[in-house]
Structure 1
């Protein structure tokens, strides 16, 4: 029985799909490595490196939902986007009106168990939940319990003595 070859165009499409897949997987691995390198444990301290967006990010969890907190020393309380609060199963405890960098906002308060990589926890923390918040903000209600210092491009965090 004679061997039939694939049409030339199908071969080219297959090669391009494989090249695209390899490039995509390589980019994903590179992004994962970069994100992981922004968080380090150094002895008893946690060292966060500034992200490409100019902010410090601290990976953690709200309940069982993985999150990437934006460290916000200008925020009095920890604030969560409403979609994240819903995925974490947080229940509204009451309405709240607050001032954000973008002006006045309405949302609700809830209690959340916050776990941050490196072993920092805040159980049953009162958080503000806002419908239009772009990213979870880790506020001074948590950060104020810790000792932190900054040098160019790095935030070093240690438990308070």
Structure 2
């Protein structure tokens, strides 16, 4: 390759890099829009749309840490992965053994301040912290305080008050 060809090659490389960047940013914007559309607030009603993984997800916070809770109506209590609990500064209150969909699991109990999009809060909630849990699970200890109804692909949640 001669020096005369270098500017042309550099231009082509730059064009392809820009095209790749535009495609990448477009995909990221589409993913963000798809994620945002799974949660809607209609007045006092939270509307969750089923995600591609088949579950309902409810964005929220554990302390100051943003999380995406998996809504689990089959779980008695809310459960958090140990790595998340450590990042949130939760302190173990004692060891626990619990039954999960994958069998029994050992972990520890802790208290957490849970805040969900749409204004739902559970302060100092007793949670199970499990080392091998893949995602935070929002259980009936929180969901039982709410009125929820389901139709295909949609979960509507309202306060019981």
Is 1:140 aligned to 2:137, yes or no? no
Instruction: Report the TM-score, using the length of structure 2 for normalisation.
Output: 0.94
Instruction: Report the TM-score, using the length of structure 1 for normalisation.
Output: 0.94
Q: Which residue of 1 aligns with 2:7?
A: 7
Q: Which residue of 2 aligns with 1:114?
A: 114
State the shift of 1:7 in Å: 2.8
Q: Give ranges in structure 1 of 5+ residues lacking alignment.
A: none
State the shift of 1:6 in Å: 4.7
Q: Give ranges in structure 2 of 5+ residues lacking alignment.
A: none
Whole-angstrom distance in 1 between the partners of 2:132 and 2:11: 47
Q: Aligned residue pairs: how many? A: 158
SS in 2 for 1:7: helix
Q: Which residue of 2 aligns with 1:127?
A: 127
Whole-angstrom distance in 1 between the partners of 2:12 and 2:92: 55
SS in 2 for 1:74: coil
Alpha-carbon displacement from aligned partner over 1:8-61 (angstroms, at most 9, x marks no partner): 322222222111111111111111111111111112111000000110000000
Whole-angstrom distance in 1 between the partners of 2:22 and 2:94: 49
Whole-angstrom distance in 2 between the partners of 1:10 and 1:89: 50
**Aligned Cα root-mean-square deviation (Å):** 1.2
Deviation beyond 3 Å, 4+ runs, structure 1: none
